[in-house]
Amino acid sequence: MRKFTIRLKEINDVKEFVNTVSRFEEDVDLVSGRYTIDAKSIMGIFSIDLAKPIEVIVHGDNEARYAEALKAYII
């Protein structure tokens, strides 16, 4: 399992982020406050507060691959 903190600033960021994590075979969650949602769900992402940093949890072991794929969003 690998955790990252990201920020999604624009609608296009959300769309590109979902496209990126949808290519992962592993489960990917977003945690915002007390809410945990599926990161592959665009509707789920729009249900959380995007003004704040969001924690991404990738349930897998290929840390370098995840970091490379998500580098545009990591803060």
| 64 assigned to some structural domain | yes
| 10 assigned to some structural domain | yes
| 43 assigned to some structural domain | yes
| 75 assigned to some structural domain | no
Report the pLDDT value the prediction gives residue 29, as an integer from 0 to 100. 97
Residues 13, 72: Cα–Cα separation, whole Å: 9
pLDDT, tens only, 8-59: 999 999 999 999 999 999 999 999 999 999 999 999 999 999 999 999 999 9
Work out how many domains the chain is built from and give that number.
1
Distances (CA, A) of 54 to 6, 40: 5, 14
CATH number, domain of 49, equals: 3.30.1340.10
Has residue 63 got a pLDDT over 90? no
Report the pLDDT value the prediction gives residue 45, as an integer from 0 to 100. 96
Domain that holds residue 8: 2-70
Has residue 66 got a pLDDT over 90? yes
